[in-house]
Amino acid sequence: MFGFSRTGAADLIAAGDVLLDGRQAMKSDRVTAGAELSVVLPPPPGAEPAVIAEPVPGMGIVYEDDDIVVVDKPRGVAAHPTPGWTGPTVIGGLLGAGHRVATSGAAERQGIVHRLDANTTGVMVVAKSEPAYSALKQAFRDRTVSKTYHALIQGHPDPLRGTIDAPIGRHPSGDGRFAVVADGRPSVTHYDTLEAFRAASLVSVGLETGRTHQIRVHMAALRHPCCGDLLYGADPVLAAHLGLTRQWLHAVRLSFEHPATGREVTFESPYPDDLAHALEVLATES
């Protein structure tokens, strides 16, 4: 149907880029009449962005062994190269600093098993060995990885804790944003208010799914966008008052079974300076 060889199609399925009726497809699945087949197509030959191997200032190493490396990703750093992105990347930073990464996956995102938005900071794991890559990819597909984010959102959500179950797809405008749309992919976000300020709330967020911009889209859909997230309707006046030039969203904690030992491991990341400053401003006004 798409002009791939059997091997090419199998690689797409193994990478988790094929959905059959909304779930991860298996190579043995049969497609029946009326079924919905969703395939993330790879870029055409020659269009793959190159990995620039050079150290990334401010990207700390939280933990490293023979199988994984856990980084504390700073703002302005993408997980891997993408068309149109000319800034630094996690994969390029690791290679530039002499770290080994798994060779599985597409050339421009080898070792990458999950992603954070370029301007979302926090803890992120990268596979170094091939077995670790396979095990971690499967763990993320099976949703056995626990990801905890903190977000500073405008206003006060009602109720103070809850679940957002709303499908996400590309925004109809085609401008690169995502949105809650009827034909989007299933997306589930849990949130719990940690602290309420006069103009904003600090919430803890857990994800059942990992859609692009998921937290930002779901919070905006509740009319409580992340502070500083002008792309999704945040108040620019409040953003300037808090000194924010990006969304207040941070991956604070990541827990998973170590792919080699099988034991549960947890890694954490403190707030970076710009996010901590915004909280200080709010605290002085409460």
Task: Tell me if the bond preceding 159 is cis, omega within 30° of 0.
Answer: yes
C-alpha torsion angle, residues 117, 121, 122, 125 (rounded to 10) = 40
Which of these is catalytic: 117, 175, 183, 273?
Answer: 117
Q: How many whole angstroms separate alpha carbon 272 and alpha carbon 250?
A: 9
**Other beta carbons within 10 Å of 17:** 16
Q: Which residue has the tokens 């020659």?
A: 46
CB of 125 within 8 A of CB of 114? yes
3-state class (DSSP) for residue 212: coil
117 is a catalytic site residue: yes
3-class state of residue 284 by DSSP: helix
Strands 60-64 and 178-180: unpaired
Q: How far apart, in whole angstroms, are the C-alpha atoms of residue 256 and residue 135?
A: 11
Q: Active-site residues: which are they?
A: 117
